[in-house]
Amino acid sequence: MLQYDRAAAIVSGDATLGVELGSTRIKAVLTGPDHAPIASGGHQWENRMENGVWTYGLDEVWAGLKDCYGSLKDDVLEKYGVKLSSVGAIGISAMMHGYLAFDGGGSLLVPYRTWRNTMTEQAAKELSKLFGFNIPQRWSIAHLYQALLNKEPHVKSVRYMTTLAGYIHWQLTGQKVIGIGDASGMFPIDSAAGGYNREMIEKFDGLLRAENIEWSLSDVLPAVKSAGETSGELTVNGAGLLDPTGDLLPGIPLCPPEGDAGTGMAATNSVTPRTGNISAGTSIFAMAVLEKEPGAAHPEIDLVTTPSGKPVAMVHCNNCTSDIDAWVSLFGETLNMMGAPYDKAKLYDELFSAALDGEADCGGLLSFCFYSGEHNLGLEEGRPLFVRLPDARFTLANFMRMHLYSAVAALKMGMDVLIKRENVKLDRMTGHGGFFKTRGAGQRIMASALGVPVAVMDTAGEGGAWGIALLAAYMKALHPDAAQDTGAAVSLEDYLSEEVFARAATESVDPDPAGAEGFEAYMRRFSAALEIERAAVNLLSGG
């Protein structure tokens, strides 16, 4: 759209607003009728350790949202000379999982426990056994049950529990609802029924009764909504929470609040069975949309859903590019010492590109990129390591290829469970994040690692705030009149493919047979040498 058209769309309220609260940044994106981002705002924040708990204060949540929305307003005014006062629809997204528990009066019972906490090992193991379904430590139900096991007195007072996105949506609209994708990180979902698994809720209620807890789990969980459903309107109080100047008008419809995994799927058009996406940066995770659920529970695999409720296998790993960043920084120091000016982005590009010239098995070099623990591998802590035999081919190309392999090794082990043991078929995975920034490098390595074509889109960098804006636009398309359902019935999959991504530039790379064979050889060496990493954790203490 032309700049004049964009200004007109903003004034008429035809733009769509998406807001996502990530672990280090809150981002707002305003999109036009063509779904292209036309303005943005942001706010930096960081979680902190408080009394042994990783948390954010709720006052920080609202201060950050106000600052983020304020910077969006400033961006609109600077670019288009108009005041932002209304939009066609709003979507809220945030980090999945964690624990926000409230009493009957709406007061927070304990500080927000984020996904980063690993205090729920006992609960996660016992619930996984009880349900016959893998319950990760970061899930909301694991936090609730661990609090019950710990005899925390607040549990008897719980009357509502939700995620960060669900909490914000509640405060903006008064509605205690949650998108099905975000809900799938709270408690297992029955995709066929479009809601929580009733059999598992009954089993959990048995645990509550054994501890003389009077409420039922179904009484305290938010109602589940799928993509496209209406989920309330911005209230007068909610508008003031975002924009204390009073410019933002109430009455704007909101789509179901979603987690960052769901918005990542939307932003990469990865909501159709046999597709998926890989987010690779400081941490790495893959989402694969399934044709059917796996035949057995696997500790490496989390089962969540798309925003429309289709089953998704999630492989989540804590470590990816941090060790690469450390080595690139060391090379940069060397260049500085030699008086050679360099551009950091170009240095990354050159080193990543050099990896493609390395031997397929990295010439006998081996590294472990673990800065922190890796639950899939049974590592409570991490120690970055580089190991080589005396006769290994120690070249820069092999060295960089090794680090790219190491960055995705833990992910590959989890994905192998899906692809090799569960025979899951995938036509395409879409990559986004820092690992894929150098054209072709990380993409080719990932394709060889997984044996699946890997695509990169020119829009993948827009992120989750754009993804939730797309979900808000989808709801508005189905419900052009908030009072009645007058929209045409179109699936989320068709809406994204035909309305949003039809003209998106996509570059796909197929697996290279020689590269795939070399990666398998590397993984045999990696798996056999994991005891070296475990020994380093035991023998090298912090400080």
**Contacts for 520 with CB less than 8 Å, ≥ 6 apart:** none
* Residue 312 in domain: yes
Q: Is residue 81 within 8 Å of 7, Cβ to Cβ?
A: yes
Low-confidence ranges of the chain (pLDDT < 50): 1-2, 483-487
296 with 205, same domain: the answer is no
381 with 519, same domain: the answer is yes
**Contacts for 396 with CB less than 8 Å, ≥ 6 apart:** 351, 354
Looking at the structure of the chain, the number of domains it has is 2
194 with 283, same domain: the answer is no
What are the tokens at 208? 């509550």
The pLDDT value recorded for residue 432 is 87
211 with 281, same domain: the answer is no
The pLDDT value recorded for residue 353 is 97
Closest CA to 81 of 141, 7, 18: 7
* Residue 249 in domain: no
The pLDDT value recorded for residue 3 is 55
Name the DSSP letter for residue 512: P
The pLDDT value recorded for residue 542 is 62
User: Residue 340 sits in a domain of what CATH number?
Assistant: 3.30.420.40
Determine the Cα–Cα distance for residues 383 and 406; give it in Å rounded to an integer.
13
- Three-state SS for 252-303 is CEECCCEEHHHHHHHHCCCCCCCEEEEEECCCEEEEEECCCCCCCCCCCCEE
299 with 430, same domain: the answer is yes
Pairing of strands 37-44, 25-31: antiparallel
What are the tokens at 519? 């990666």
The pLDDT value recorded for residue 484 is 47
* Residue 254 in domain: no
The pLDDT value recorded for residue 460 is 60
The pLDDT value recorded for residue 486 is 45
523 with 414, same domain: the answer is yes
Q: Is residue 505 within 8 Å of 457, Cβ to Cβ?
A: yes
What are the tokens at 211? 């501890």
Q: Which helix (H) or strand (E) holds 50?
A: strand 48-50
210 with 286, same domain: the answer is no
For residue 241, what are the CA distances in angstroms to 51, 173, 285? 28, 11, 33
418 with 519, same domain: the answer is yes
* Residue 251 in domain: no
Determine the Cα–Cα distance for residues 221 and 178; give it in Å rounded to an integer.
9
* Residue 214 in domain: yes
* Residue 257 in domain: no
For residue 401, what are the CA distances in angstroms to 330, 362, 432? 17, 6, 19
213 with 278, same domain: the answer is no
DSSP H helical ranges for 150-268: 164-173, 180-183, 198-210, 217-220, 236-242, 260-267
Q: How many helices (H) and strands (E) does the chain have?
A: 18, 24
Neighbours of 415 (CB within 10 A): 26
The pLDDT value recorded for residue 247 is 97
202 with 318, same domain: the answer is no
* Residue 237 in domain: no
274 with 213, same domain: the answer is no
* Residue 455 in domain: yes
341 with 209, same domain: the answer is no
What is the residue type of 338? M
- Domain of 102 in residue numbering reads as 97-162+187-220
